[in-house]
Chain A
Amino acid sequence: MILLAFILQTLRIAVPYLLAAAGGVMSERVGIIALGLEGLMLSGAFGAALGSYYGNSPWAGLLGALVAGGLITSLLAVSTIRFRANQVVVGVAINLIVAASTRYFLRLVFDSSSNSPRVPGFGGEGIGNAMFASFLNPVVWIGLAALPALGWVLYRTPFGLRVRAVGEKPEAAATLGVAVNPMRLKGLYIAGALASLGGAYLALDQHQFTDGMTAGRGFIALAAVIFGRWEPVRVGVACLLFAGAETLQIQLQGAQLVPSQFVEMIPYVLTIVALAGVVGRSVAPAALGKTD
């Protein structure tokens, strides 16, 4: 029973990671560095709160999340694809813009500096069935399906083949008539949608938007992408691993076995280890970061 509870909690914690990491894989496979995942998630969270508040329904919240994510993705796309700005800088800037904007609009719309009012979520009220209530949440299902679906798309469909070509050697794709920039654009919007849904999950689950609520999850998702070597199934495993460590730490909180800060560090340390090639080298898509 404890094991079941552990697994279920891990899955719940994993959902935002799975969604954002799926977005990260999509983005980086098509050649765009996914440093802005944190900002995309946060924008999705705010959009979900906004949507759910005004539409009085979590579905409106999802729509709001996609719209917000779409707007931020557009900003990202124009800067990196049309203007060929440096993708690392753009990623950092996006994160800052979203952090500042959400605070700004929080004040403007909800007249608060910390959180929105309570908004409808996907149900599961009442402690008793909280564990299983998750499975009434459509976003959980999307989250669990995201990476496997992405894997199927990448390796089985023409679209996926072209994505991989564009992320490795865009010139090759171009000489065969594959329109490179439109591909990048499509990949980015898919990535943005996924990441913003990850943020939406957070907001709807907690029934409100809180300033800075993503708390670095976007970076953990990026860590999972790298640790999982940009392959959807491995990335999924990485997400579950990170979520599992987090669950463990929560459940063992009283036991004081390992200080919580060290458990926090696990995803980051593992990523650095993966990059140093200690357990096999993580090699990025060859055209990652280049848009000229």
Chain B
Amino acid sequence: MSTTALKSTRVWEAVLPAVVALGLAAVLGDLLILSFGESPAAVWTLLVKGTWGNAYGIGQVLYKATTLTCTGLAFAMAGRAGLFNVGAEGQLAAGGFGAAVMGLLLPSALPAVLAIPLCVVSAMMVGAAVGALPGALRAKFGASEVIVTIMLNFIVLALLNWIVSAKLHLPETLRTPDIAAGNVPRLADTFAMFRGSAANFTLLFAVAAAVAGWWYLFRTRSGYELRAVGLQPEAAEYGGVKVPRVLFVSMAISGALAGLGGVNFVLGYKGYYEEGFAGGAGFLGIAVALVGRNHPFGILAAALLFATLSQGGLAVNAVVPKQLTDILTAAVILSVATAVPEVQQQIRAAAASVTASLARKSTQGVGA
């Protein structure tokens, strides 16, 4: 192993598991396709054609990737602080609801340049509130945020169901009335080729969030402290970091990011809040963050991958059940999770022996 390779062990540790996992998933996919009596090559080709092969497909992929980027960033931000936010599903729904409520409250005459940010902020704040509760319980009582976020998912979704069905819905439906102000324009409005797809400019918010997230984590002092808390909380405490505060704040940020994802559907696609719009994107965010190795840029790539799989499933649905891609998605999660410790162990063992020999080389009479 060369010195350059040695320096980049952390990059290797990050990337290799994802590569291994994707390989395994591809093999599994082939097997499943064969079990349905179809040819893998044909199905994969159909999948690619139905997603990246036409403008509508690309649009749909971009649309789905937007939400996944947000929920992926949410999991990653908490993950970097050593927390498991399994509540993105509820935070996403709550955020979308927050955007809808703001959109309903604002006068329709309000220019978009004011209305949209207000609605987006509303979404993020509601999401942050839902994320902050587990954060506070963890900071103050050491309560497992894994369990609290899972429980909160059910609570939030039930609560939203009640609010909408009791107070806010259009008759015969489970959705709110159309929003007056704050709709985010579709991509199709500017780029005609995307006509018919749900892709909209929330995409830009998502990308901006990824860039901001990267800069925050790796270029600011807060980010340095947050990562330290996730890696070695006792050393962070020794280094003057107020650990409970960091835990709380990172959960709130995480919730806010998930809430942002709600904007994609509510403001960008349908123009209203609808029960169940989250559709599992919160849990998929975990997959995205995992494959993206909790790194904002990796998450962008992983979001595109999973969005492609999801859209691709629809594209091949006539030939193979679309659950095929759902299974593959879950298989990828499992493979990455299992690959990580193995890869880590191998790389670290190799790195340690190389470093030891490098240290021995420059002896000045003070031997190892």
Residues of A within 8 A of B327 (CB): 97, 100-101, 104
Cβ A97 vs Cβ B330 within 8 A: yes
Cβ B286 vs Cβ A92 within 8 A: yes
The reply on B236 being an interface residue by CB < 8 A is no
The CA-CA distance from A271 to B145 in the complex, in Å, is: 12
The CA-CA distance from A275 to B113 in the complex, in Å, is: 44
The reply on B269 being an interface residue by CB < 8 A is no
Cβ B324 vs Cβ A275 within 8 A: no
Cβ A275 vs Cβ B333 within 8 A: no
Residues of B within 8 A of A108 (CB): 35-36, 321
Measured CB to CB, the nearest residue on chain A to B154 is: A268
- The A-B contact count (CB < 8 A) is 124
The CA-CA distance from A92 to B143 in the complex, in Å, is: 19
Cβ A104 vs Cβ B324 within 8 A: yes
The CA-CA distance from A85 to B283 in the complex, in Å, is: 18
Residues of B within 8 A of A7 (CB): none
Q: Give B159-187 interface residues, CB cut-off 8 Å to A.
A: 159, 161-162, 166
Cβ A268 vs Cβ B155 within 8 A: yes
Q: Shortest Cβ distance from B247 into chain A, in angstroms?
A: 15
The reply on A230 being an interface residue by CB < 8 A is no
Interface residues on B, range: 35 or more
Known: A88-B84, A88-B146, A96-B326. A83 touches B159 (CB 8 A): no
The reply on A118 being an interface residue by CB < 8 A is no
Residues of B within 8 A of A264 (CB): 154, 158
The reply on A93 being an interface residue by CB < 8 A is yes
Cβ A219 vs Cβ B334 within 8 A: no
The reply on B234 being an interface residue by CB < 8 A is no
The reply on B19 being an interface residue by CB < 8 A is no
Known: A99-B326, A265-B155, A277-B141. A107 touches B321 (CB 8 A): yes
Measured CB to CB, the nearest residue on chain A to B327 is: A100
Cβ B341 vs Cβ A268 within 8 A: no
The reply on B222 being an interface residue by CB < 8 A is no
Cβ A92 vs Cβ B159 within 8 A: no
Q: Shortest Cβ distance from A211 into chain B, in angstroms?
A: 10
B331-368 to A contact mask, C-beta < 8 Å, 1/0: 10110011111100000000000000000000000000
B16-33 to A contact mask, C-beta < 8 Å, 1/0: 000000000000000010
The reply on A185 being an interface residue by CB < 8 A is no
Q: Shortest Cβ distance from B80 into chain A, in angstroms?
A: 14
The reply on B152 being an interface residue by CB < 8 A is yes
Measured CB to CB, the nearest residue on chain A to B140 is: A276
Known: A35-B146, A261-B159. A89 touches B137 (CB 8 A): no
The CA-CA distance from A103 to B342 in the complex, in Å, is: 32
Cβ B290 vs Cβ A89 within 8 A: yes
Measured CB to CB, the nearest residue on chain A to B151 is: A268
The reply on B45 being an interface residue by CB < 8 A is no
Q: Shortest Cβ distance from A80 into chain B, in angstroms?
A: 9
The reply on A248 being an interface residue by CB < 8 A is no
Cβ B334 vs Cβ A75 within 8 A: yes
Residues of B within 8 A of A262 (CB): 158, 162
Cβ B162 vs Cβ A259 within 8 A: yes
Residues of A within 8 A of B158 (CB): 261-262, 264-265
A255-292 to B contact mask, C-beta < 8 Å, 1/0: 00001011011001101100111000100100000001
The CA-CA distance from A13 to B148 in the complex, in Å, is: 24
Most chain A CB within 10 A, of B146, B162, B338, is at: B338
Q: Give B122-157 interface residues, CB cut-off 8 Å to A.
A: 137, 140-141, 143-144, 146-148, 150-152, 154-155
- 6 additional A-B pairs beyond A35-B150, A259-B166, beta carbons within 8 Å, are A89-B290, A96-B287, A223-B151, A226-B147, A261-B162, A265-B155
Q: Which 3 A-B pairs have the closest CB atoms?
A: A100-B326, A96-B330, A275-B143
28 A/B residue pairs, CB under 8 Å, sorted by A:
A79-B334, A83-B338, A83-B339, A84-B341, A85-B338, A85-B340, A86-B340, A88-B146, A89-B333, A90-B337, A90-B338, A92-B286, A93-B330, A94-B334, A104-B323, A104-B324, A108-B321, A216-B154, A222-B150, A262-B158, A262-B162, A265-B158, A268-B152, A269-B151, A272-B148, A276-B140, A277-B143, A284-B144
* B interface, CB within 8 angstroms of A: 32, 35-36, 84, 86, 137, 140-141, 143-144, 146-148, 150-152, 154-155, 158-159, 161-162, 166, 283, 286-287, 290, 321, 323-324, 326-327, 329-331, 333-334, 337-342
